[in-house]
Structure 1
């Protein structure tokens, strides 16, 4: 991993709809922790309205849902992770384990399963992420009855994890072409946060996506998303981060993803939230990976405070938790952890763990 040490962060917080009071640019720790917690917050905010179409959301919350209240079709406790945050956690823990392995000497090497050790002395973060996903799927997970199945899981994730359990090869799994849901885009964030080397970031973004979602539109979307994330964490403006992503998407030669980035640049999130998805999002933001990417690009370019933008992402309706999570990751990397409202952060199931893992990875600095 290519990171730098955490250098502290402000305790300033923002209420929904209010900008952060931080007077200095966010630190690296703040951007990384902010990305993870804003993803978690977007997931938890949207969980209350999952599957609700835009018109229904507008009727119930004319100005948008502005508090994390839980409930929804799966009756979530307020701030509880859905599959979006849970699977992001799976990838995050894999990068933590890699950092521990790369810096831990003989003790770490002895404790690491042989399957995770690569021929060149490295650590197979893709396999580790896949195994954490399997643990989640089988109920070995915080807040779950041991052995219980997730109450909410996408079809491609079911297929991909099933194939991985059979083959034990994370690079020979996936649901196959034609399965282009947003289930890998929702969890790919840690690669963008912790992998500084561009070639490695591309490779790991594609391979971690491919454990379940190996359709080219999914792997390329994750790669482009993580290019934006890495650029924002490095301090670039959203426009500059998008310019880097546009260079990369041309290299990838994936026209649907290239068009999605362009569409995200051209639409007004506030207008869609107010007037409905219409022709801009013909799938009504219902889980198609390209529409989630479009919304995330529009969100990160929206100059309003993080909370206002996330509220509007959820107002669009349909796959509200996943769209909120994906957009939240970019917004948190843009604005830092101080921009996530304190009232939201206090409810998040994995807040303390995520902050501790970020500190640990930055402390190891590999």
Structure 2
């Protein structure tokens, strides 16, 4: 739900630079209004939430090959078999690496090796990573599946390791760890996976403050928060360490500008795990396209997690 809320909030100003957002919304955009370059209805899922849903659907069916199932759901999304779309119509928005990877998967039928390869380090797999953290309790399996689902479209190590580290933070939060210790867990996993750049991005997030970036702009980020996976990871870490309520933090993440919907979706995922769905204002939740479906999925994952704990307890 946090991914969905951040995505929908940021969609209205996607691709807008910091200065433009500051001029239009001096105190930040505080309502989900839709619009933006793709003219979204208020609360409608963009590709961020849609592809998160694709991974979520894969995890809701125990016993399947989760990576292949996630790829199949993502391919269905690309081909127009998706709620809210006329059958067969393409998505309004789709990243280049995502499209290339899914077309490769469509041709080969093999989700391994379909990614865009080294040098393509966008945030298009990090934005959809969270369901694996909520569904998989075993740390090694969680890291492996996070990386393999990323690699369907984004197999640069900065992307795959970022997904694993992000999900380690989320899983620690879900287990009741405080944010600083959860971030430690993600940092350690990144280092273990030889993700030097990823570990550096996590460490950088400790030093940044969303409120300050909202006031001064994204100059402290390598790609000005314009879609680079490590910028988005850094912002998510900074967001989850910010003690303010979820809405205040997400408003400031959007104020930073550029890839506003994806940055807010990724940060919103960690904030949602930290604070719970009740932290999302009702006026936001009431317009989210998949709110009811995601609430039902949370109940299913929670019940599955309890059964897993009973078996291992």
Name the residue aligned to 1:351.
Answer: 291
Would you say the 8 A contact 2:134–2:301 is kept in 1?
no
**CA shift at 1:335, angstroms?**
0.6
Name the residue aligned to 1:87.
Answer: 51
Where is the helix percentage greater, Structure 1 or Structure 2? 2
Cα separation, 2, equivalents of 1:339 and 1:123:
33
Q: Which shifted more, 166-175 or 354-363?
A: 354-363
Distance 1:93 1:47, change over 3 A: same
Query: TM-score, normalised to structure 1's length?
Result: 0.82
Alignment of 1:60-75 (within 5 A): 60-75=24-39
Cα separation, 1, equivalents of 2:186 and 2:251:
25
**CA shift at 1:243, angstroms?**
1.2
Q: Which shifted more, 172-181 or 59-68?
A: 172-181
Consecutive unaligned residues of structure 2, counting only runs of 5 or more, are: 309-313
**CA shift at 1:134, angstroms?**
0.3
Equivalent pairs, count: 306
Name the residue aligned to 1:277.
Answer: 218
Q: 1:124 aligns with which of 60, 65, 70?
A: 65
SS at match of 1:46: helix
Bigger-Rg structure (1/2): 1
Name the residue aligned to 1:20.
Answer: none
Cα separation, 2, equivalents of 1:282 and 1:222:
18
Higher RCO (CA < 8 A, seq sep 6+): 1
Consecutive unaligned residues of structure 1, counting only runs of 5 or more, are: 1-36, 99-121
Give CA deviations for 1:3-46 in whole Å, capped at 9, x if unaligned: xxxxxxxxxxxxxxxxxxxxxxxxxxxxxxxxxx1110000000
Name the residue aligned to 1:214.
Answer: 155
CA RMSD of aligned residues (A): 0.9
Would you say the 8 A contact 2:15–2:259 is kept in 1?
yes
Name the residue aligned to 2:92.
Answer: 151
**CA shift at 1:190, angstroms?**
0.3
Cα separation, 2, equivalents of 1:242 and 1:74:
34
Is it true that 1:172 corresponds to 2:113 in the alignment? yes
Name the residue aligned to 1:181.
Answer: 122
Cα separation, 2, equivalents of 1:206 and 1:355:
26
Query: TM-score, normalised to structure 2's length?
Result: 0.96
Name the residue aligned to 2:5.
Answer: 41
Would you say the 8 A contact 2:34–2:40 is kept in 1?
yes
